[in-house]
Amino acid sequence: MKRSVRLTVVVEMAKRKEEEAALRLADCGRELACEEQRLGELDEYYREYEVSFNNMRSGICAASLASNREFLRQLSESRSLQTLQIKQKRDQFEIAKNYWHQCHLKHDKIKSFVADIAREEQWRQLRLEQKNADEWAMLAHSRR
């Protein structure tokens, strides 16, 4: 069995690894988008509640005012925590992207290497066939 044929297993392994890395990258991208959407929802809710709170500030009792301020503080804290979550997801996404890129380059290099080997094998085979044809022609010519 030719070396290039034996190495197709290695090419397939590299391809599978690249595909798995691409799936992980897609998962990380979806998770990041989801977390960013959650932050957007929190921001929207915070703004709506803040406007509502500011509109009803006059004429409410001190306990309600304190309760509303505490709720806004907790919302703000949730937004900060969500921002940290997004940073972590973004870091994970970058790691997954770099890993996929490495796998992609490795797969390309292995494919190229195997293609080079196959071309060299084909060239050697053609040379051998030409040599055999030349020898056969010389034998045929010398027998005459």
CA 62, 65, 67 angle in degrees (round to 5)? 110
DSSP-assigned states of every residue in 82-100: HHHHHHHHHHHHHHHHHHH
Confidence of residue 52 (pLDDT cuts 50, 70, 90): confident
| Cα-Cα end-to-end distance for the chain | 39
Q: What is the mean pLDDT of the chain?
A: 93
CA gap 99, 40 in Å, rounded: 29
Domains within the chain, CATH numbers bracketed: 3-142 (1.10.287.1700)
CA gap 43, 54 in Å, rounded: 16
Cβ-based neighbour number of residue 98 at 10 Å: 12
Residues 81-90 have a mean pLDDT of 98
Give the predicted TM-score (pTM) of the model: 0.78
